[in-house]
Structure 1
């Protein structure tokens, strides 16, 4: 008979340890999982009529195999070994048995090779979930854990495929486990395969629907493009009108100043000759109007965005075959082929329209930036002219 007092004490110790130190975010690797592993280990061991000493080692290893989760998620087995060793050493447990327990714990690490029957039993008990009807529910708990602690996120299809691959890659190592879980494991594999296929079909159907929706122009899409183009054209017209206004206003002011200063026989011309200080406000006004009109002219100046194109680059996102600044750079034959391709592929059509809108916006940004500079210079010039004129008169 194994030492039931020590096993009970170990179970209480693990329960208290998990209660006080295990994160509540561990929804899979918690006390419930550990308790079920202990239970399965005992039941699988019955098929071998193990000696009491071996059963004791197996059960103690089952209790401690996941205790390392209290401090780390990855490579928790090493931490579990340290915790088990500390507890059993304090209980004056034989060192050679502690080593066997630690070997069993390390055997539960993914990819480890087992060397003893006790290790095989514990590993089978640890993965017994794959041969139960509750597999799919508990697998979702593991998925949550991985998202929290490992940062691994899966779509439903990715998770279904991962779980199917896992079920197909693992197998029970002991005969009792095979007899007990193989039937349900086969059902789980089939269910998971069916689920994966359904999700795959749904994904393909959704992708096909998205392609069809994009390939067939919808009223909302057409309205959006039409509205955007109209807005850009209206804004461009407003910018040009504002630029023309600034050009006309500044041109008139400069003409008046130049005319009066050039007429030496006029009263104003004579006055300026006798009082050169008055030339300061006039000079300021002339300089600022000149700068303002230059900015306005540059803003109103036609701007064409163009690229050096190659036939093999006609599908680039930066290329817009609908804009003359682009297509006039390529031979007629290449342009015709490109347009035929666009008419066949709505993706390409939308891409060209989107590119056109982008560069229209870029042109508008430059227009309004230059207009703002022009208006600002004009405003500052008027203020400085008035101030300097008042100062000159006051003297």
Structure 2
């Protein structure tokens, strides 16, 4: 069976299904969500190196798992999704054992999730992958909007937040890879929900207290110089965007520097080849050109050395210690700090970093700073090389003219 071709047909079928049943009320359970689940399922399946048949099963289940929403609503939508998938696969002559496996994967996504094997675990984790990513706040808003549309009533932030917290507490990622990859961010997302809920309750209690009438005889002076309460939350998405853009800009600048150095190395190499192969042979007959030739030779060599130094990589020791992890002083995002460490040691350090926001952002800051230091060195050497070449060429040409005219 050609599973790749059959998967293309599955994709076309489900895409056409969503387009045919398009409804603006489904702000979350729509084609975009399905495509994300398919992508996540593929990521997990490739990690576990599934064969073609198993890869087809989890991917097909991911494509069909939410189609039941568009047939009689959310209740028992998984069951209707299995019926839609089975009807399509039977029409394609797919073996019943595969159809049964696809149906089981879809049914395993029922809350609470109850997967019985690796394939079902992969589909479950792919379906709720966003709980452990930075996409959660945005997807959560879409889910609340869709729920309000289905229930035909407004859902308060407090009510929705409480139900989401219960979902987080009842949910567990099923695969070992999903746990290691997503649990840290999921814990952070849950804590943020709890902090918002606690802040809202405190604010409500404060507003009730301040609403009580104050007797006229009581003089409540306003505290002087009391600092305003700092906002605890930071713009996480903005911070991550800043780090991503900074790293991308540094990478582009580094590529530009390397290109400039390569241009200069190539240019000086050509000049040196001509000097050594042609001009030096004729110096015995043209002794007046010895000084200009040597001057040009020195200029080219110095320029080439500066350009090579600008592109020459510096390799750190590649080892970090547990003390550096505890003190949050090591940057685990740069290969030079860990390439001689074992995977277990590196994974342990990464897990500690991902579970500590200050450590994570500190590493990102250190990484951006280190890139800036390397860039500064590159551009200083490049500037020196270009200056030597520019002024040296001018002086060398003048020297050749003087030697040719007066000597």
TM-score by length of 2: 0.50
Task: State the secondary structure of the residue aligned to 1:110.
Answer: coil
Instruction: Quickly say closer, same or farther: Cα 1:121–1:49, change in 2 above 3 A.
Output: same
Mapping 1:199-238, distance limit 5 Å: 199-210=200-211, 212-213=212-213
Distance change (3 Å), C-alpha of 1:118 and 1:93: same
Q: Take 2:61 and 2:30, find their aligned partners in 1: how far apart are those partners?
A: 15
CA distance in 2, matches of 1:22, 1:68: 13
Tell me the alpha carbon deviations over residues 76-124 of structure 1, each in whole angstroms, 9 at most, x when there is no partner.
Answer: 1111111101111111111111011011111111124221111111000
Match of 1:107 in 2: 108
8 Å contact kept, 1:157–1:200: no
Give the Cα–Cα distance (whole angstroms) in 1 for the partners of residues 26 and 146 of structure 2: 6
Partner of 2:90, secondary structure, is helix
Whether contact under 8 Å (1:38, 1:63) holds in the other structure is yes
1:166 aligns with 167
Deviation (angstroms), 1:162: 2.2
Q: Does 1:24 align with 2:14?
A: no
Rounded Cα–Cα distance in structure 2 between residues aligned with 1:152 and 1:173: 34
Q: Greater Rg, structure 1 or structure 2? A: 1
1:161-200 → structure 2 map (5 Å cutoff): 161-200=162-201
Q: Is the 8 A contact 2:132 2:189 kept in 1?
A: yes
Instruction: Give me the whole-angstrom Cα distance separating, in 2, the residues matched to 1:49 and 1:18.
Output: 30
Give the 3 Å change call, closer, same or farther, for CA 209–176 of structure 1 in structure 2.
same
The equivalent of 1:251 in structure 2 is none
Matching of residues 126-145 of structure 1 within 5 Å: 126-145=127-146
Task: Please identify, of 162-171 and 113-122, the stretch whose mean Cα deviation from structure 2 is larger.
Answer: 162-171
CA distance in 2: counterparts of 1:203 and 1:51, whole angstroms? 55
Contact map agreement 2:133 2:182 (CA 8 A) in 1? yes
2:76 matched to which residue of 1?
75
1:216–1:95: structure 2 CA closer, same or farther, 3 Å change rule? Answer: farther
Mapping of 1:292-371 within 5 angstroms?
A: none
Length-normalised TM-score, structure 1: 0.52
Contact 1:146 1:153 in 2 (8 A): no
CA contact (8 A) 1:156 1:199 kept: no
Aligned to 2:91: 90
Q: In the alignment, which residue of structure 1 is the partner of 2:66? A: 66
> Pairwise mapping of residues 224-263 of structure 1 onto structure 2 (< 5 A)?
none
Does the 8 A contact of 1:2 with 1:52 survive in 2? no
Change (3 A) 1:12 1:54: same
**Runs (5+) with no aligned partner, structure 1:** 218-395
Structure 2: which 5+ residue stretches go unaligned?
217-407
Deviations 1:210-230 (A, max 9, x none): 4x15x879xxxxxxxxxxxxx
Higher helix share: 1
- Aligned CA-pair RMSD: 1.9
Instruction: Measure the CA separation in 2 of the matches of 1:3 and 1:166.
Output: 35
2:104–2:120 CA contact under 8 A, matched in 1: yes
Q: Do the aligned partners of residues 173 and 2 (structure 1) sit closer, same or farther apart at CA in structure 2, a change above 3 Å counting?
A: farther
* Residues 28 and 138 in structure 1, CA contact (< 8 A), matched pair in contact too: yes
Compute the displacement of 1:153 (Å): 4.2
In 1, the alpha carbon distance for the partners of 2:142 and 2:210 equals 32
Question: In 1, distance between residues paired with 2:20 and 2:193?
Answer: 36
User: Is 2:112–2:171's contact at 8 Å kept on the other side of the alignment?
Assistant: no
CA deviations over 1:297-341 (Å, ceiling 9, x no partner): xxxxxxxxxxxxxxxxxxxxxxxxxxxxxxxxxxxxxxxxxxxxx
Give per-residue Cα distances to partners, 1:218-277, cap 9 Å, x unaligned.
Answer: xxxxxxxxxxxxxxxxxxxxxxxxxxxxxxxxxxxxxxxxxxxxxxxxxxxxxxxxxxxx
Deviation at 1:164, TM superposition (A): 2.1
The 10-residue stretch of structure 1 (194-203 or 97-106) with the greater mean CA deviation from structure 2: 194-203
Work out whether residues 29 and 66 of structure 1, in 8 Å CA contact, stay in contact via their aligned partners in 2.
yes
Partners of 1:163 and 1:127 in 2: CA distance = 12
SS of residue paired to 2:180: helix
Do the aligned partners of residues 63 and 93 (structure 1) sit closer, same or farther apart at CA in structure 2, a change above 3 Å counting?
same
Alignment of 1:37 onto 2:37 = yes
Aligned residues of 2:112 and 2:170 also touching (Cα < 8 A): no
- Cα separation, 2, equivalents of 1:164 and 1:190: 9
- Between the aligned partners of 1:57 and 1:90, the Cα distance in structure 2 is 16
Counterpart Cα distance in 2 of 1:2 and 1:36: 24
Tell me, in whole angstroms, the C-alpha distance in 2 between the residues paired with 1:110 and 1:56. Answer: 24
